[in-house]
Chain A
Amino acid sequence: MNSFKAALALGYALTVSTAFAGELVVNSDQTDPAPKKAMETLIEGFKAAHPDVTVKWNNFDHEGYKSAIRNFLTADAPDVVSWYSGNRMAPFVKAGLFEDVTDLWTENKLDDQLKSAVKSMEIDGKKWGIPYSYYQWGIYYRKDIFADQGITPPKTWAELIAACEKIKAAGMTPFAIGTKALWPTGGWFDYLDLRVNGYEFHMDLTAGKVPYTDPKVKAVFEKWGELVKPGYFIENHAAIDWQDAIPQFVQGKAPMYLMGNFAVAAMVDGGLKEDQIGFLQFPEITAGIPMAEDAPTESFHIPSGAKNKEDARKFLAYLATPEAQTKMNEVLGQLPVNNQSAKSNDPFLKAGFEMLANAYALAQFYDRDAPAEMAKAGMEGFQQFMVKPDSVDAILARLEKARGRIYK
């Protein structure tokens, strides 16, 4: 299905016209209602601040965008594009397709204001875009069910296992998950590795410096196995997407869900009241390891082939301001990166903000921290582990082989 969408997106990319002077062409993939509205808010705000610039926005389908961007960056580059930070932008930076915007950061003193995202926007000591939004990951749980069962939100691994046992004994499955699209498994691996081995080890692993056959990696899977083997994840998760697992959460069949904050909207749509949903930080596993979190960051970039770089810089500078980020993230229901933005009243965002503000470090997500190819091989292995936990050694050997090939 993706290929059809990609073909459509390509056709679309070929027909969108090139810019006139004073016209700023923005390409992005915000077709879901909230992101689309947030983008409209951003463009309106920019127009009010710079009335002389007209903005032409080409909105792409999310999946098709991933292949379309490769075509339009090389063929007919727009002035501003949305993309992801971390290793996901590395191929474009290395191929010279993104513009170095370090000057914007120094001019507007962004190193301070966008502090939490500095690391993820940097490659070779230069900055390649402006981050505007991020969101927390963590365990969302059913407050009402926890109260019924007399479970207090677990803070340590032992408490989590005890809670799982209680939930299982009450005839429920502790965790909802849908792994058909593979990436939800990445969240689990990230958190288990961050908690078992810590941020530095996790970053070394995703940067290809540590073999997957390392006993420390094996230890991560042992912890994971403690949840997989007793059946603490819902059955048949490999056949469904993450949204398809939401009903199990809503119906109370699986009262916990490790997910990004975007899941709350789907849970509320499914009929839950906000006070039925709780948020808890992923529990501590190895005592004493500082808690790092997953917080994928979203960003805009200037292609090096842009025709109107002057206005593109104005656009990114506007995007970096606390006002723009406040307004945008209010609509998005996510957290602004600029630390001078106004804080939200949403209980989940408040909890997320508190957790991330005190986080030791932020990881992007397995498929953004690791190169795309490794991410694919890795998440496939994670999915296999969640179905066949006994084949862990074969999986790790395969991942190690992939590592040897991918990071040369």
Chain B
Amino acid sequence: MSSTVPATSSYWKRNQQRLAPWLFLAPGMIMFSIYVIIPIFESIWISFYDWDGLGAKTWIGVANYVELLDDEAFYTSLKNNILWLVLYLLAVPAGLAVALFLNQTVIGIRLYKSLFFFPFVISQVVVGLIFTWFYAPDFGLLSALIKTVTGESIAILADERYVTLGIIAAGLWPQIAYCMILYLTGLNNINPEQVEAARMDGAKGWSLLWNIVLPQLGPATFIAIVVTVIGALRSFDLVSIMTDGGPYGSSRVLSFYMYEQALSEYGYRMGYGAAIAVVLFMIMMVFITLFIVRMLMQERNA
């Protein structure tokens, strides 16, 4: 009996330094695994089954994925997703343009800024409804405009050629506002001395923007691209509200197709829905990996 520390508290005392961080991390880690990590693996698991969500599961191996390869609707969704991804990124330069335009000191600029920011504040559901009316044949503002100009009315949301473009345009409205805010905060942090020095050296206009301002906006651009890519890939609400995937499925995106197959009135194919989710996850993984690699490299350089 040579020990001087009471046996009951010894373990805690000895390991306090090591354990404390884990204890603080525990709530977050538990939540994160329950709501994010475990469901990811569960989805992958379910994607190998034929299951209606109620009855017994049947193991069918990769049959769901084989079916996906031969599914027209899947390719339509994939094509639309890519369209979303490419066109949605227009929000970044457009947001920058608006931010540069608003980054000046005139009377009432705060009001203008808030007005430009307004579409991001309202719910996506409301954005979807507003644009549905805007596009509505007969009484919609846009179709009335098109009719007076071309003499022909176009129902954007009922035409497979324009429907996805129409929804993306609706999505861009709030997304540009979001990018604008990111750039406005970025512009506040620009080093005025550098701009001054550049001006003394005769830089102005495009060259000033390209060589002096934009490099300093790097972090803002990075965040803007990240949120826009994620926004494009998870575009669901606008599709659901504006067209419900129609006409005849031509405005579906992967997330909506997954919902339709697994959870909607005519669906309940959990396995097939999960397989679509896995594909979407893989696509997202490409971007997530790129972002993480970039972040790690920056940390290492810092």
Contacts and interface: CB of A to CB of B under 8 A. Distances in A.
B72 A383 contact: no
A103 interface: no
A239 B251 CA distance: 12
A70 B240 contact: no
A238 B240 contact: no
Interface stretch (A254-262, A327-335, A369-377): A369-377
A95 B55 contact: yes
Nearest to A382: B248
A380 B264 CA distance: 15
A67 B263 contact: yes
Interface string A180-209: 111000000000000000000000000000
A179 B157 CA distance: 12
Contacts of A381: 248
Contact of A70 (B53, B243, B246): B53
Given A180-B246, A238-B247, A383-B248, A1 B125 contact: yes
Interface residues of A, number: 37
Contacts of A375: 266
Nearest to B243: A180
A384 B23 CA distance: 58
Nearest to A67: B263
Interface in B85-100: none
Contacts of A3: 240, 259, 263
Interface residues of B, number: 33
A387 B248 contact: yes
A367 B160 CA distance: 24
Given A1-B125, A238-B158, A66 B265 contact: yes
B241 interface: yes
A219 interface: no
Interface string B158-171: 10100000000000
Contacts of B259: 3
Contact of B52 (A91, A376, A405): A91
Contacts of A6: 263
A372 B265 contact: yes
B267 interface: yes
B137 A95 contact: no
Contact of B266 (A70, A179, A372, A387): A372
A108 interface: no
Contact of B54 (A91, A239, A383): A91
Nearest to B248: A384
A4 B155 contact: no
Contacts of B249: 380
Interface of A: 1-4, 6, 63, 66-67, 70, 74, 91-92, 94-95, 97, 179-182, 235-240, 367, 372-373, 375-376, 380-381, 383-384, 387, 398, 405
6 smallest CB-CB distances across A and B, nearest first, come from A376-B266, A239-B158, A236-B155, A238-B158, A384-B248, A238-B247
30 contacts: A1-B240, A3-B240, A70-B54, A74-B54, A91-B268, A97-B54, A180-B158, A235-B137, A236-B138, A236-B158, A238-B247, A239-B136, A239-B155, A239-B247, A240-B136, A240-B137, A367-B266, A372-B267, A373-B266, A373-B269, A376-B260, A376-B267, A380-B246, A380-B249, A381-B248, A383-B247, A384-B247, A384-B248, A387-B158, A387-B247
Interface of B: 52-55, 67, 72, 125, 135-138, 153, 155, 157-158, 160, 240-241, 243-244, 246-249, 259-260, 263-269
